[in-house]
């Protein structure tokens, strides 16, 4: 009996185990089928209902692989033995036939059976697979969600592209016309092939030749195309039955047209023109103003991108070199090509050109102006702004011309940078004739000079240096003097900063300070190169520093040209008499009539349309007003058929008086009118007084009296 | 014999026994629910034996009360009233509730002596209908309006270029957003959103492009559905050109641009600018030339507005100054004073306007706020002088800091505008004509002499609708004759106290624009709405009118007073049976599942 309880226990544990594993399988199958379906729906766009067979299939596969129902009670017993040591590896005894047990086993069984009852029904490890399956399911759900978003995006896209198709206005064709074939020959510049269409609505390139071939189902006398309500073009029949008609025409203007068969007019058809855009040029380098300092390579790399809607046929650089200055300036023009072939008429070109300035006979001080001009296949040209490249004129920089006149007082350090440059150049010239050690020495000396100069300028900015210009050289240091022993004033004088000294105070504006700082930076760089024994590399920085210093000098100057003026002789007897009697008073009289409102007809039409919404009947005068508005709308439509054509046809439908006026047509016309008419400008207006027998006027007068 | 105490005692004992049984049970699980369930079971048992009842206030109907059903009543509310006397004015309600008797004159109720009070259900009646009761006491408990526009206002008469401003309150009790769209010429012009469950004011704006009589529409949209579509009739008139006199101390840009702008629009402009002592440059545009060396009452009388530099106005000789003051105070000439550097003076035009200078020497350009305009203007160098805020002046133009840059005040029959602005022409130079026109239109419109009129029509009814009387008010100095509305002659009624007011009552037969004209007056138009228009507002108006009537004719006799009585209502026993069953079921099931 006790044995039976043990068997029950184990079989119930087995049931739990099997249930959990089956559940895990179901979850696994669900996760797998979800993930699979997400993939399939995304790639193959199959119906979501396929998920059921897929799920069943995967579940079956899982079950038959694992075959949980075959889990024997013995294996459960073994599992229990592993998990619970108190069972002493003997739980399998329970399953054995009692009769077959030996004595020891019987004893052991009795011992274990009680413990077996205390073993809990289920074990945490049963859940392991379920947990894994849940995680997988979660992952699959995320996958489904993501793919769902992608699919929905695709659907939206697909719908959009479809809706464009739907937007094409359905055309009403005259009943006599059985077929229409329109051959569009795009102009040469587009490089597009000929195309055919069977719709009257045209969307063509500027200058395209359109051939209409209209077949009628019965012989007709005359077929005409009416362009923009003005121009009539008769089609010619090409067969004796007079059922095939044809005409070709080159179209340059947008608008609308109608087909007339034996005097019967068709709907309005849109005639839209895609104009050719001039080429677009973008210069990536150089910058609009480029300054080549001395020592820099005298060349410019012109990098430009040219775009056109159909094709670029040519691109050139137009360069002008300006030599000399003042009145002696001379110009010379060059046409440079990019060296690329434009024969293929690509719509986009990326072009580079390295212009060597000396090749254009440019010298220091000269300037190069250039622009790029591009021509497209339609012979439309466009050009860029003018770009400037100038080479620094070192001779000008070193000349004393600017300084000879004007301010005489020149602090000595303004000359020093120039001196350093001259010395550097001399050093470079001497390089071949002196030893390397000497060269290096002199370069280092120049570096020291440069440092001193920098420190001097640094003072202007209130910079302080730890090392004084030459502390070792200071012979008569007052602090070192024995006579000054204990004199605090002397020590203070030496070691304190005297910021509030009026003599040292700086009166530079921030702009000037910025430039000074830039100068110092250049000096720093020059010094670095000099100390590295590279005077060649130091030169550009020195020049730059000098140029900045010169600019600083020029900043405080101003030039006022001398003028000459000979006043007429004064009549002394009239002077200061105050007699104005002979001076006439100017009087002017003019009449300015405000311009007539060009939208008057449309505004009147609004009233008529509002009335139509209630009555749906057009009277004679209304028709006249609407006809005038129709003319104005037709003008608008010939300029912008895409926007106004639907309103124009709606207006025609209203005017045709075939059946009742449709509200939809009215609102179409109203919308177009609202778009057309300009907003009313505000003007001052007078309010009306109330017809109150002077009561309010009396009130205000009395109010005034009381206020006093 | 009252069994109740016995039942209660037995039940208490039973409850104690049951609880004790539960407490002493060996299996202690779910003790508290068991105890609660047993107590509930016993209590329910007790309640089945003892009939439980409660008391509420009920209206005991006066037998002499009649019920009048009006639009918007709820059928369910009828159950409360057990009167036989059901009346209605509406054929539709009669169809719904055949018991109701349709009457066509409310006087019938008054003349029926058995009726001492009328109870109105629904939204109530309008003023004209209420008058027919002739003081019969009413009881009225309206259902508040839940969804819709509860207030609306817009400027019905506009001049070209003026803003159409629609303001109102929308009450939204729906769980979704409401979109209000102002539609004109089938085009959406402005819109606003009312959040779900909010009651919020709204403001819609547009500058109408067209003129004449127009009907804009206000759409109330919830998602894709149109909840309401209301008509907004607007009449837009062309502005009549005015006559403007400009006196400047020297030819300057400000007056030159102002002159150009006004004359372009067809306004008559005369400019007199001093070029030397007693020498003037005179320009006459769109007006006949006349001598202008000396200003006189005759000269001032020709013009609607005078725009003058303060220095010129101050230095007018005594005769000219007196003529000017006379014309402003008595005849209503408007003056725009362009201030000079003097911050204060006792000159009569500057007395009300004391100015001050900004602390900064060179202020940055500022955007101006124009009176009646929502949007800020473009930036303008407004100078450093501004007007102090004080009594008797109205600010017209100010900047964001509240510095007033133009203000107006009354001067007798006329008005004065004072402004230190003197570089508004830079707007025109910058191509910004809108702000320039906005500013000067505001200033000139504010002061200009009022146009004399001989008649003035106003619609007194808030929302005139079909088959309801429309009240029109005619202000006329002369006795009106032959007033015609849509071809029918109507006699006016003179106000007993104000002799120039005449009341005209008209029953419109069709919706839409209706013309009204008196013998030698102008043709005027007013709009009659359809019965479906502005439902919520009209319901509110009716409720308010009816409430006002109820308060005015309060019930004062005891006989007709409502009798409030306590009624005892027995609670149905089925509830306790269910409760008992549930408690017992729980106890039984609990015993099964241990």
In three state form, how does the secondary structure of B131-192 look? HCCCCCCEEECCCCCCCEEEEEEECCEEECCCCEEEEEEEECCCCCCEEEEEEECCEEEEEE
Residues 6 or more apart whose Cβ sits within 8 Å of residue A708: none
Longest Cα–Cα distance of chain B, Å, equals: 124
Cβ within 8 Å, pair B210-A606: yes
What is the spatial distance between Cα B304 and Cα B147, in angstroms, rounded to a whole number? 49
What are A258's two structure tokens? 């109608």
Same domain membership, residue A445 and residue A513? yes
B590 DSSP assignment: H
Beta bridge partners of A388: A289, A369
Cβ within 8 Å, pair B281-A585: yes
Range list of β-strands (E), A98-145: none
Taking 3-state DSSP, the helix, strand and coil percentages for chain A, each rounded to the nearest 5, stand at: 50, 20, 35
pLDDT (mean) for A448-458: 83
Same domain membership, residue A430 and residue A387? no
On the 0-12 / 13-18 / 19+ scale of CB atoms within 10 A, A691 is buried
Cβ within 8 Å, pair B329-A701: yes
Residues 6 or more apart whose Cβ sits within 8 Å of residue A317: A302, A335, A336, A337, A338, A353, A355, A370, A371, A372
Same domain membership, residue A388 and residue A473? no
What are B284's two structure tokens? 């006459």
What is the spatial distance between Cα B246 and Cα B255, in angstroms, rounded to a whole number? 8
Q: 3-state class of B115 per DSSP? A: coil
CATH topology for B58-141+543-560 is Rossmann fold (3.40.50)
Q: Are A677 and B209 in contact (CB under 8 A)?
A: yes
Domain spanning B148-238, CATH architecture: Sandwich (2.60)
In 3D space, the residue among A110, A105, A77 whose CA is nearest the CA of residue A91 turns out to be A77
What is the spatial distance between Cα B295 and Cα A574, in angstroms, rounded to a whole number? 31
Q: 3-state class of B416 per DSSP? A: strand
pLDDT (mean) for A150-174: 54
Chain A residue whose CA is closest to B157? A687
Range list of β-strands (E), B249-353: 268-276, 279-285, 305-309, 334-338
Chain B residue whose CA is closest to A693? B477
Q: B185: distance to nearest CA of chain A, Å?
A: 5
**Residue B479 at interface with chain A, using a CB cutoff of 8 Å:** no
pLDDT (mean) for A489-514: 66
Cβ within 8 Å, pair B209-A701: no
Q: Tell me, rounded to whole angstroms, the distance of Cα A23 from its chain centroid.
A: 56
Check residue B573 and give its pLDDT. 84
Provide the b/e sequence for A495-526 (b: ≥16 CB within 10 Å). Answer: eeeeeeeeeeeeeeeeebeebbbebbebbebb
Same domain membership, residue A237 and residue A286? no
What is the spatial distance between Cα A493 and Cα A361, in angstroms, rounded to a whole number? 60
Per residue, what are the HEC states of B345-412?
CCCCCCCCCCEEECCCCCCCCEEEEECCCCCCCCEECCCCEEECCCCCCEEEEEECCCCEEEEEEEEC
On the 0-12 / 13-18 / 19+ scale of CB atoms within 10 A, B479 is exposed
Q: Please name the residue that has the structure tokens 């009452």.
A: B297
Residues 6 or more apart whose Cβ sits within 8 Å of residue B485: B472, B504, B506, B514, B515, B516
Cβ within 8 Å, pair A681-B434: yes
DSSP string covering A636-690: HHHH-HHHHHHHHHHHHHHHHT-SSPPHHHHHHHHHHHHHHSPPPPP---PPBPP
Q: A682: distance to nearest CA of chain B, Å?
A: 4
Q: Is the residue at A576 inside a domain?
A: no
pLDDT tops 50 at residue A669: yes
Same domain membership, residue A500 and residue A360? no
**Residue A612 at interface with chain B, using a CB cutoff of 8 Å:** no
Q: Is the residue at A584 inside a domain?
A: no
B496 DSSP assignment: S
A566 DSSP assignment: -
On the 0-12 / 13-18 / 19+ scale of CB atoms within 10 A, B46 is buried
Beta bridge partners of B376: none
In 3D space, the residue among A51, A53, A47, A35 whose CA is nearest the CA of residue A147 turns out to be A35
Same domain membership, residue A105 and residue A47? yes
What is the spatial distance between Cα A423 and Cα A42, in angstroms, rounded to a whole number? 77
Q: A400: distance to nearest CA of chain B, Å?
A: 42
Domain range for A17: 2-149
Four-way CATH pick for B455-528: 2.60.98, 3.40.50, 2.60.40, 2.10.25: 2.60.40
* Final residue before a domain boundary, out of A253, A274, A295: A274
Q: Is the residue at A225 inside a domain?
A: yes
- Number of folded domains in chain A? 5
Same domain membership, residue A436 and residue A508? yes
What is the spatial distance between Cα A531 and Cα A446, in angstroms, rounded to a whole number? 8
Residue A471 maps to which CATH number?
1.20.120
Check residue A456 and give its pLDDT. 78
**Residue B190 at interface with chain A, using a CB cutoff of 8 Å:** no
Domain spanning B243-447, CATH architecture: 3-Layer(aba) Sandwich (3.40)
pLDDT tops 70 at residue A466: no
Q: Where in chain B is the domain with CATH 3.40.50.880?
A: 243-447
Cβ within 8 Å, pair A687-B448: yes
Phi, psi of B197 (to 5 degrees): 70, 20
Same domain membership, residue A9 and residue A135? yes
Same domain membership, residue A412 and residue A374? no
Q: Are B378 and B429 in contact (CB under 8 A)?
A: no
Q: A461: distance to nearest CA of chain B, Å?
A: 31
Check residue B304 and give its pLDDT. 92
What is the spatial distance between Cα B510 and Cα B465, in angstroms, rounded to a whole number? 9
What is the spatial distance between Cα B309 and Cα B420, in angstroms, rounded to a whole number? 10
B328 DSSP assignment: I
Q: A499: distance to nearest CA of chain B, Å?
A: 31
**Angle between the N-to-C axes of helices A535-555 and A413-430, in degrees from 0 to 180, rounded to the nearest 10:** 160
Check residue A158 and give its pLDDT. 43
Which residues, numbered 543 to 602 in chain A, qualify as contacts with chain B under a Cβ-Cβ cut-off of 8 Å? 578, 580, 583, 585-594
Check residue B169 and give its pLDDT. 92
Phi, psi of B532 (to 5 degrees): -85, -10
What is the spatial distance between Cα B266 and Cα B242, in angstroms, rounded to a whole number? 9
Q: Please name the residue that has the structure tokens 């200078």.
A: B357
Cβ within 8 Å, pair B161-A580: no
Q: Is the reported ipTM for this assembly greater than 0.95?
A: no
Q: Rg of chain A's alpha carbons, rounded to an integer?
A: 50
Higher pLDDT, A617 or A604: A604
* Final residue before a domain boundary, out of A396, A417, A445: A396
Q: Is the residue at A589 inside a domain?
A: no
**Mutate: best of A675, A677, A691, A695, partner B, most B CBs <10 A:** A691
* Final residue before a domain boundary, out of A252, A274, A296: A274
Give the strand pairing for A381-383 and A367-376.
antiparallel
Nearest to A589 among B161, B278, B284 (CB): B284
What are B481's two structure tokens? 């004759």
Check residue B460 and give its pLDDT. 87
pTM above 0.80, yes or no: no
Same domain membership, residue A360 and residue A244? no
- Which has the minimum average pLDDT: A154-168, A670-684, B324-338? A154-168
Length reported for chain B: 594
Q: Is the residue at A354 inside a domain?
A: yes
Q: In what side-by-side order are the strands of the sheet with B470-476? A: B455-459, B470-476, B501-506, B493-494
In 3D space, the residue among B5, B80, B138 whose CA is nearest the CA of residue B560 turns out to be B138
Check residue B212 and give its pLDDT. 85
pLDDT band of residue A499 (cuts 50, 70, 90) is low
Higher pLDDT, B551 or A402: B551
The residue ranges of chain B whose pLDDT is under 50 are 557-561
What are B387's two structure tokens? 């007007």
Of chain A, the end-to-end C-alpha distance in Å amounts to 124
Check residue B116 and give its pLDDT. 73
Check residue A471 and give its pLDDT. 47
Of chain B, the end-to-end C-alpha distance in Å amounts to 46
∠ CA A525-A527-A532, nearest 5°, is 100
B266 DSSP assignment: T
Phi, psi of B529 (to 5 degrees): -85, 160
Phi, psi of A579 (to 5 degrees): -90, 115
Residue A325 maps to which CATH number?
2.60.40.10
Higher pLDDT, A181 or A704: A181
Check residue A404 and give its pLDDT. 52
Same domain membership, residue A417 and residue A497? yes
Same domain membership, residue A90 and residue A210? no
Instruction: Give just the sign of the alpha carbon dihedral A188, A192, A198, A201.
Output: negative
Longest Cα–Cα distance of chain A, Å, equals: 161
What are B301's two structure tokens? 């009388």
Q: Where in chain B is the domain with CATH 2.60.40.10?
A: 148-238
């Amino acid at each position: 009996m006790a044995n039976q309880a043990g068997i029950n226990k184990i079989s119930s544990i087995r049931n739990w185990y099997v249930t959990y594993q089956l559940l895990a399988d179901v979850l696994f199958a669900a996760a797998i089928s979800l993930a699979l379906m997400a993939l399939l729906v995304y790639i193959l766009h199959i119906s979501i209902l396929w998920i059921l067979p897929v799920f069943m299939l995967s579940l079956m596969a899982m079950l038959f692989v694992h075959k949980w129902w075959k889990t024997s009670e013995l294996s459960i017993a073994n599992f229990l033995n592993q998990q619970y040591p108190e069972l002493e590896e003997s739980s399998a005894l329970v399953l054995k036939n009692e009769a077959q047990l030996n004595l020891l086993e019987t004893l052991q069984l009795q011992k274990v059976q009680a413990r077996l009852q205390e073993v809990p029904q289920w074990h945490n490890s049963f859940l392991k697979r379920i947990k894994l399956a849940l995680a997988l399911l979660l992952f699959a759900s995320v996958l489904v969600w993501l793919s769902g978003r992608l699919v929905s995006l695709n659907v939206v896209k697909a719908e959009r592209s479809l809706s464009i198709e739907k937007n094409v206005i359905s055309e009403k064709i005259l009943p006599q016309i059985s077929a229409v074939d329109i051959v569009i020959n795009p102009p040469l510049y587009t490089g597009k092939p000929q195309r055919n269409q069977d719709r009257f609505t045209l969307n063509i390139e500027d200058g395209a030749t359109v051939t209409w071939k209209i077949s009628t189902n019965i012989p007709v006398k005359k077929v005409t195309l009416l362009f923009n309500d003005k121009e009539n073009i008769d089609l010619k029949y090409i067969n004796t039955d007079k059922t095939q008609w044809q005409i070709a025409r080159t179209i340059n203007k947008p608008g609308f047209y109608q087909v007339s068969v034996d005097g019967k007019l068709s709907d309005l058809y849109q005639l839209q023109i895609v104009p050719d855009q001039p080429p677009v040029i973008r210069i990536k380098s150089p910058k609009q103003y480029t300054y080549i300092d001395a020592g820099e390579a005298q060349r410019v790399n012109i990098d430009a991108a040219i775009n056109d809607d159909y094709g670029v046929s040519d691109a050139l650089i137009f360069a002008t070199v300006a030599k000399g200055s003042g009145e002696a300036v001379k110009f010379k023009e060059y046409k440079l090509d990019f060296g690329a072939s434009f024969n293929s008429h690509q719509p986009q070109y990326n072009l580079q050109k390295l212009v060597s300035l000396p090749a254009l006979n440019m010298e220091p001080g000269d300037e190069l102006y250039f622009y790029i001009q591009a021509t497209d296949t339609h012979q439309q040209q466009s050009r860029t702004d003018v770009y400037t490249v100038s080479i620094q004129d070192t001779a000008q920089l070193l000349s004393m011309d600017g300084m000879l006149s004007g301010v005489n007082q020149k602090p000595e350090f303004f000359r020093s940078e120039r001196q350093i440059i001259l010395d550097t150049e001399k050093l470079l010239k001497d390089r071949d004739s002196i030893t390397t050690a000497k060269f290096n020495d002199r370069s280092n000396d120049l570096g020291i000079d440069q440092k001193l100069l920098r420190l001097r300028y640094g003072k202007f900015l209130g910079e302080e240096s730890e090392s004084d210009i030459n502390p070792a050289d200071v012979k008569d240091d007052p602090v070192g003097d024995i006579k000054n022993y204990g004199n605090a004033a002397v020590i203070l004088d030496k070691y304190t900063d005297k910021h509030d000294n009026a003599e040292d105070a700086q009166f530079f504006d921030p702009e000037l300070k910025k430039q000074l700082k830039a100068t110092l930076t250049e000096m720093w760089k020059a010094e670095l190169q000099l100390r590295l024994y590279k005077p060649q590399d130091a030169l550009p920085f020195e020049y730059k520093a000098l140029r900045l210093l010169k600019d600083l000098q020029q900043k405080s100057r101003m030039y006022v040209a001398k003028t000459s003026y000979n006043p007429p002789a004064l009549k002394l007897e009239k002077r200061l008499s105050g007699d104005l009697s002979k001076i006439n008073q100017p009087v002017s009289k003019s009449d300015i009539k405000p311009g007539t409102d060009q939208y008057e007809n449309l505004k009147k039409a609004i009233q008529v349309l509002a009335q139509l919404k209630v009555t749906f009947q057009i009277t004679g005068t209304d028709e006249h007003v609407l006809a005038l508005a129709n003319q104005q709308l037709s003008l608008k439509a010939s300029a912008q058929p895409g926007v106004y054509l639907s309103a124009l046809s709606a207006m025609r439908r209203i005017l045709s008086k075939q059946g009742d006026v449709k509200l939809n047509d009215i609102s179409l016309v109203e919308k177009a009118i609202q778009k057309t008419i300009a907003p009313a400008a505000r003007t001052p207006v007078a309010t009306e007084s109330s017809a109150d027998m002077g009561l309010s006027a009396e009130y205000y007068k009395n109010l005034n009296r009381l206020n006093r | 014999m009252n069994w109740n105490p016995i039942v209660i005692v037995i039940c208490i004992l039973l409850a104690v026994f049951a609880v004790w049984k539960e407490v002493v049970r060996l299996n202690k699980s779910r003790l508290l629910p068991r105890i609660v369930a047993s107590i509930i079971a016993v209590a329910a048992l007790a309640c089945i034996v003892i009939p439980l009842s409660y008391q509420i206030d009920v209206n005991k109907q006066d037998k002499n009360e009649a019920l009048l059903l009006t639009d918007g009543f709820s059928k369910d509310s009828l159950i409360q009233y057990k009167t036989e006397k059901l009346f209605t004015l509406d054929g539709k309600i009669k169809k719904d509730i055949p018991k109701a008797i349709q009457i066509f004159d409310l006087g019938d109720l008054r003349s029926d002596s058995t009726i001492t009070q009328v109870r109105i259900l629904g939204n109530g009646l309008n003023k004209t209908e209420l008058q027919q009761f002739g003081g019969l006491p009413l009881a009225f408990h309206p259902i508040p309006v839940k969804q819709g526009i509860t207030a609306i206002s817009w400027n019905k008469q506009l001049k070209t270029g003026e803003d159409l401003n629609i303001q109102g309150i929308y009450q939204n009790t729906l769980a979704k957003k409401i979109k209000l769209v102002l539609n004109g010429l089938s085009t959406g012009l402005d819109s606003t959103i009312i959040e779900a469950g909010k009651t919020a004011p709204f403001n819609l704006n547009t500058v109408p492009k067209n003129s004449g009589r127009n009907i804009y529409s206000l759409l109330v949209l919830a998602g894709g559905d149109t909840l309401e579509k209301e008509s907004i009739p607007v009449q837009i008139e062309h502005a009549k050109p005015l006559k403007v006199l400009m006196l400047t101390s020297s030819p300057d840009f400000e007056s030159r641009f102002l002159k150009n702008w006004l004359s372009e629009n067809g306004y008559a402009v005369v400019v007199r600018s001093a070029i030397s002592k007693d020498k003037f440059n005179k320009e006459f545009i769109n007006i006949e030339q006349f001598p202008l060396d000396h200003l006189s009452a005759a000269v001032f009388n020709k013009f609607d507005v005078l725009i003058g530099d303060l220095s010129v106005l101050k230095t007018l000789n005594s005769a000219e100054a007196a003529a000017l003051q006379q014309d402003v105070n008595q005849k209503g000439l408007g003056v725009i004073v362009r201030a000079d550097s003097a911050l204060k003076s006792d000159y009569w035009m500057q007395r009300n306007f004391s100015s001050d200078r900004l602390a900064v020497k060179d202020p940055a350009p500022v955007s101006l706020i124009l009176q009646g305009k929502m949007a800020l203007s473009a930036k303008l160098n407004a100078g450093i002088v501004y007007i102090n805020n004080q009594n008797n002046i109205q600010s017209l133009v100010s900047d964001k800091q509240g510095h007033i840059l133009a203000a107006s005040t009354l001067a007798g029959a006329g008005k004065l505008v004072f402004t230190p602005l003197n570089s508004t022409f830079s707007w025109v130079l910058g191509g910004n004509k809108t702000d320039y026109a906005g500013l000067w239109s505001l200033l000139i419109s504010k002061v200009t002499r009022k146009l004399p009129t001989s008649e003035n029509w106003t619609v007194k009814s808030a929302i005139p609708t079909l088959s309801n009387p429309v009240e029109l008010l005619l202000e006329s100095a002369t006795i009106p004759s032959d007033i015609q509305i849509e071809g029918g002659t109507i006699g006016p009624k003179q106000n007993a106290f104000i002799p120039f007011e005449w009341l005209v009552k008209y029953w419109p037969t069709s919706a839409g624009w209706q013309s009204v004209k008196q013998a030698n007056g102008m043709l005027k138009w007013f709009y009659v709405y359809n019965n479906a228009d502005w439902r919520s507002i009209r319901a509110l108006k009716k409720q308010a009118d009816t409430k006002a009537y109820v308060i005015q004719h309060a019930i004062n006799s005891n006989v007709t007073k409502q009798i409030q009585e306590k009624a005892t209502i027995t609670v149905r026993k089925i509830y306790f049976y269910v409760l008992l069953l549930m408690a017992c079921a729980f106890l039984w099931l609990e015993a099964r599942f241990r």
